Amino acid sequence: MKKESISEHLYIFYAFVFLLYILNLFIVSERLTYVIGLLAMLMLIVSFYSASRLFKTLSFAFLLIGGYLYGTSGQSIAALPPIMTSNMGLLMLLAMLPWMNSVVRSGGFDRSLNTLMQVNVSNLGGLYTRSSATTLTLASFLNLSAATISQDVLKTNLSDLNKKVRGSFISTATLRGYSLALLWSPLEILLAMSIFITGVSYVSLLPWLILIGIIIFFIDSLWGRLYFRKHTVNKSDLTQVEHVNLKELLKKLVHLMIALVLFLVAVISIGTLFDMDFILTVTLLIFPFAVVWSIIMKRLHRFWVIGWNNWKEKTNTMQNFIILFISLALFSHSIGEAAFMEVVQQPIIKIAEYPLLVFFVIQVAFIFLSMFGVHPIATFGILGSLLSTLLSIYNPLSIAIVLVTSSIATLTVGTYGLVVTLTSMNIEQSPYRITLINLPYALLFGGIGTIVAYLLL
């Protein structure tokens, strides 16, 4: 009972540390940095027990290797705590995401947009683009929730279809639409991490990511329309056009798009005006933006009820990311200081005159490791020091594009990843089958990113 009570109130401890971190960003106190580092180590210890086995294994490996390298570098143990705070900003961003999720739910946008997928269509080919686009729109704000919401609607409406066909359709349309939204969304942690590593501004990256997204969406939509058009849909299971208020749905869609554009403009403007980095700007803007949006919609009370419960639940269950990010901070620092990395980097430098090959190796590394349960965030850590070398050789914008497209592509093929696992359970299909059917798409996704990155060198 006592253990359950503590786990239900972890959000208080986590929020306290995050608030101290934000405060220190403005007052820049070495003492407070040290205290936050000690608290980060305590967060790691407290969170380890409740984390999943996969993240425990990854975290333990990072701590073991990072600790060994740190010990052999001759650095003082007393200097360790500040090092553990280097990824705190990313954790803070993760903790704020539920508020944006909640304001979208409070406005009923999730229900309205999914009605679009219930409007009468003659075959699965015609439904594919609509399903992918709807998931893309929702995922811009709802992240993982968008995929599961879309899957639930499709699973119900396509219940008469052959199970294998239904599973293939849902796992491609929703996961691919989901990945396209995260490619450029300021709320996506993998995009934030790519910017964090390369130092590239979001403003310079955004147009290229949108271009890549449009190209991939067009190609995938054409494939889906051709591949699934031979499967007819039972019209009796779908909402008829005359029963749907298309004008109201269009208003909801326009409203959502305007809100997204305004959020992007606010992130870019405030970041430029106050010279704040991307992660901090997004983190500080999410809550006030969500509050103002809920007031404009006259949904403040509903937003607060949904948001508070959602935020507590999500923050209480951040253990996986807490142990991964904090252990990754030690690993990244230690391996960057290790003398042997100069030897490891030499082969990369020798093939640096073949950037397409280097970019392709990075892409394959992300996809290959994700298929064996390695989270893309962990892959960032594994490639960390090598990326530092590449940043001194190539255009950082090109590296950022390769990192974003390679890491986001894994979300459709990560056999043991959260979104593929949830999809597998939702449609009762093997995660290996989901990985296999989406593998060509993941390679296309990363491949287009590689080509664009190469042209920008």
Q: How many CB atoms lie within 10 A of CB 373?
A: 16
Count of residues in the chain: 457
Q: Residue range 218-246: average pLDDT?
A: 73
Rounded to 5°, the CA angle 251-252-253 comes to 90
Sign of torsion, CA 39 45 47 53? positive
Least confident interval from 59-63, 106-110, 429-433: 106-110
Angle 246-273/278-296 helices, nearest 10 degrees?
Answer: 140
User: What pLDDT sits at residue 185?
Assistant: 87
Is residue 258 over pLDDT 50? yes
User: What pLDDT sits at residue 341?
Assistant: 60
User: What pLDDT sits at residue 218?
Assistant: 95
Q: Are the beta carbons of 132 and 88 closer than 8 angstroms? A: no
User: What pLDDT sits at residue 156?
Assistant: 75
- Report pTM: 0.83
Is residue 288 over pLDDT 60? yes
Q: What is the mean pLDDT of the chain?
A: 85
Q: Are the beta carbons of 236 and 120 closer than 8 angstroms? A: no
User: What pLDDT sits at residue 18?
Assistant: 94
User: What are 252's two structure tokens?
Assistant: 């909801």
Q: What is the DSSP letter of 338?
A: -
> Which CA distances in Å does 92 have to 186, 202, 243, 274, 341?
14, 18, 43, 19, 30
Q: Residue range 279-294: average pLDDT?
A: 91
DSSP annotation string for 6-58: HHHTHHHHHHHHHHHHHHHHHH--HHHHHHHHHHHHHHHHHHHTTS-HHHHHH
User: What pLDDT sits at residue 241?
Assistant: 47
User: What pLDDT sits at residue 373?
Assistant: 72
In this predicted model, what pLDDT tens digit does every residue of 358-399 receive, in sequence order? 999 899 989 988 887 777 888 887 787 778 888 888 999 999
Is residue 4 over pLDDT 60? no
CA nearest to 179, candidates 414, 381, 378, 379:
414
Is residue 311 over pLDDT 90? yes
Q: Are the beta carbons of 350 and 433 closer than 8 angstroms? A: no
Is residue 118 over pLDDT 80? no
Least confident interval from 191-195, 272-276, 447-451: 272-276
Is residue 114 over pLDDT 50? yes
Q: Residue range 114-119: average pLDDT?
A: 64
Phi, psi angle pair for 25, to nearest 5°? -65, -25
Least confident interval from 334-348, 424-438, 443-457: 334-348
Number of alpha carbons in the 13 Å side-chain half-sphere of residue 128: 28
In this predicted model, what pLDDT tens digit does every residue of 164-179 receive, in sequence order? 888 899 999 999 999 9
Q: Which residues, at least 6 apart from 212, have a Cβ–Cβ distance to it below 8 Å?
A: 183, 401, 405, 448, 449, 452
Q: Residue range 344-350: average pLDDT?
A: 67
Q: Are the beta carbons of 169 and 427 closer than 8 angstroms? A: no
Q: Residue range 292-312: average pLDDT?
A: 92
User: What pLDDT sits at residue 1?
Assistant: 44
Confidence of residue 217 (pLDDT cuts 50, 70, 90): very high
Q: Are the beta carbons of 323 and 48 closer than 8 angstroms? A: yes
Confidence of residue 159 (pLDDT cuts 50, 70, 90): confident
First to last CA, the chain: 58
Share of the chain above pLDDT 90, in %: 37
Confidence of residue 86 (pLDDT cuts 50, 70, 90): confident
User: What pLDDT sits at residue 88?
Assistant: 92
